[in-house]
């Protein structure tokens, strides 16, 4: 069995975290991932209600360890989201996309560990000083909102800075080979989002799941279009990686023009669920997703597959060493 700080600290069979994905990863997906031996997380969007968090908590509490993912920029306007999250006693809270310093102590005081997604050396330093229990090196390949540095250089930088704090890798991970490679580099685990979108347990619509399966690795775009359109207070440093479509082809790079009249916004609002206009957030790993699979199947495949690969590679690379 793979043994890392992540499997030890959270009592996991596999060092795999189901990433928080607002609107996509809710209790059903998180429960399925935890039941299969990983750690499932629920993404809390900026407009979520405390009642939603309470309901998710009720469904998750008896099912083993679980996490809740909060966005720091949203907490500035919605501190009630953290209050509600702490009430349901998650194993882990993630605080991403902003300075987590004001919030970590409160989580620790309630016995909740904190993960922080980081995107460069400055954010890594900030998260370490603030007392993060787990750093998540989120590369730009990732689906949803992310930074601009790719997973490979970012993970090397974060591992160099992290000292004894465990580091998970995120962004572009969708095969056992990737899990094995990142563990070999020194990651304590992997934080996987896109690979779980096309599962029956995800909240993505069946049409959205079909688009994820059909998409290639070159079909995503990192864009501010949807955040500007919805007037969300996302910091400039984080754009969202989504499947490119007619709408992004029209407005990406022309956000100021888009906002000059209400036309684009009205068009968007009247076409929700039409994915030539509406968004499907997904990472470059979409190119590796070829069919719908259950979350349990994916966790077992990634985890057991990585175990096999690591053992085999050690034997192949060191044929002369005693076993
Ligand atoms: C549909 C979608 C929604 C996401 N929503 C959130 C979120 O609410 N909070 C968060 O911290 N990260 C969010 N993320 C980022 C993930 O937590 C994670 O970093 C990312 O999915 C990892 O890269 P991958 O998609 O290549 O696996 C989202 C990602 C996706 C694909």
- pTM above 0.85? yes
Q: What percent of the chain has pLDDT over 70?
A: 100
> Does the Cβ of 279 fall within 6 Å of ligand 1?
no
Cα(18) to centroid of ligand 1, in Å?
9
Query: What pLDDT does 135 receive?
Result: 98
* pLDDT tens per residue across span 149-172: 999 999 999 999 999 999 999 999
Q: Which atom of ligand 1 is nearest to the CA of 24?
A: 1
Query: What pLDDT does 105 receive?
Result: 98
> Does the Cβ of 170 fall within 6 Å of ligand 1?
yes
Query: What pLDDT does 322 receive?
Result: 77
Sheet order of strands, 144-146 included? 144-146, 239-243, 220-223
* pLDDT tens per residue across span 167-211: 999 999 999 999 999 999 999 999 999 999 999 999 999 999 999
- Say if residue 233's pLDDT is above 90: yes
Pocket mutation for ligand 1, best pick of 16, 17, 21 (most atoms within 8 Å of C-beta)? 21
- Say if residue 323's pLDDT is above 90: no
Query: What pLDDT does 193 receive?
Result: 98
- Say if residue 232's pLDDT is above 90: yes
User: Which DSSP symbol is given to 281?
Assistant: B
Q: Which atom of ligand 1 is nearest to the CA of 19?
A: 17
> Does the Cβ of 69 fall within 6 Å of ligand 1?
yes
> Does the Cβ of 141 fall within 6 Å of ligand 1?
yes
Q: Which atom of ligand 1 is nearest to the CA of 138?
A: 19
Pocket mutation for ligand 1, best pick of 17, 18, 19 (most atoms within 8 Å of C-beta)? 19
Cα(142) to centroid of ligand 1, in Å?
7
Helices 295-317 and 176-185: angle between axes, nearest 10 degrees: 60
> Does the Cβ of 19 fall within 6 Å of ligand 1?
yes
Pocket mutation for ligand 1, best pick of 85, 98, 143 (most atoms within 8 Å of C-beta)? 143
Which pair of tokens denotes residue 192?
Answer: 């996987």
Q: What is the mean pLDDT of residues 23-43?
A: 98
- Asked whether the beta carbons of 104 and 112 are under 8 A apart, the reply is no
* pLDDT tens per residue across span 82-125: 999 999 999 999 999 999 999 999 999 999 999 999 999 999 99
> Does the Cβ of 204 fall within 6 Å of ligand 1?
no
Query: What pLDDT does 3 receive?
Result: 97
Pocket mutation for ligand 1, best pick of 16, 17, 20 (most atoms within 8 Å of C-beta)? 20
* pLDDT tens per residue across span 278-293: 999 999 999 999 999 9
CATH 3.90.550.10 fits domain 5-204+296-317:
no
- Say if residue 30's pLDDT is above 70: yes
With 0-12 CB in 10 A as exposed, 13-18 as middle and 19+ as buried, what is 266? exposed
When pLDDT is cut at 50, 70 and 90, the band that residue 321 belongs to is: confident
- All residues at 6 or more sequence positions from 82 whose CB lies less than 8 Å from its CB, including other chains: 70, 75, 93, 103, 106, 107
Q: Which atom of ligand 1 is nearest to the CA of 204?
A: 1
Q: Which atom of ligand 1 is nearest to the CA of 45?
A: 8
> Does the Cβ of 193 fall within 6 Å of ligand 1?
yes
> Does the Cβ of 281 fall within 6 Å of ligand 1?
yes
> Does the Cβ of 289 fall within 6 Å of ligand 1?
no
Which residues in the chain are classed under CATH 3.20.20.70? 5-204+296-317
Give the chain's mean pLDDT. 97
Cα(222) to centroid of ligand 1, in Å?
13
* Cα→Cα distances 152→96, 123, 172, 234, 305, Å: 20, 17, 10, 25, 21
Q: Which DSSP string do the residues of 18-86 spell out, in sequence order?
A: E---BTT--HHHHHHHHHTTSEEEEE--TT--HHHHHHHHHHHGGGS-EEEEEEHHHHHH-THHHHHHH
């Amino acid at each position: 069995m793979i043994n890392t700080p992540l499997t030890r600290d959270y009592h996991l069979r596999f060092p795999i975290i189901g990433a928080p994905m607002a609107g996509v990863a809710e209790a059903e997906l998180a429960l399925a991932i935890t039941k299969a031996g990983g750690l499932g997380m629920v993404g809390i969007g900026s407009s979520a209600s405390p009642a939603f968090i309470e309901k998710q908590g009720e469904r998750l509490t008896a099912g083993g360890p679980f996490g809740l993912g909060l966005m720091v920029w949203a907490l500035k306007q919605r501190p009630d989201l953290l209050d509600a999250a702490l009430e349901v006693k998650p194993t882990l809270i993630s605080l991403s996309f902003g300075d987590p310093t004001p919030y970590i102590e409160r989580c620790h005081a309630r016995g909740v560990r904190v993960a922080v997604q980081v995107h460069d050396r400055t954010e890594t330093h900030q998260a370490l000083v603030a007392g993060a229990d787990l750093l998540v090196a989120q590369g730009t390949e990732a689906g949803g909102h992310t930074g601009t540095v790719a997973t490979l250089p970012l993970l090397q930088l974060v591992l160099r800075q992290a000292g004894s704090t465990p580091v998970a890798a995120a962004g572009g991970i969708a095969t056992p080979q990737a899990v094995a490679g990142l563990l070999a580099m020194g990651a304590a685990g992997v934080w996987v989002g896109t690979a779980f979108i096309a599962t029956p347990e995800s909240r993505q619509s069946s049409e959205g799941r079909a688009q994820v399966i059909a998409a290639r690795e070159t079909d995503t775009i990192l864009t501010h279009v949807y955040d500007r359109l919805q007037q969300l207070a996302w910091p400039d440093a984080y754009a969202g990686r989504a499947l490119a479509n007619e709408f992004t082809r029209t407005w990406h790079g022309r956000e100021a023009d888009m906002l000059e009249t209400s036309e684009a916004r009205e068009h968007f609002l009247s076409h929700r669920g039409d994915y030539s206009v509406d968004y499907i957030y997904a990472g470059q790993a979409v190119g590796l997703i070829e069919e719908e699979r259950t979350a349990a199947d994916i966790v077992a495949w990634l985890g057991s597959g990585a175990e096999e690969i690591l053992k085999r590679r050690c034997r192949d690379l060191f044929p002369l060493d005693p076993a």
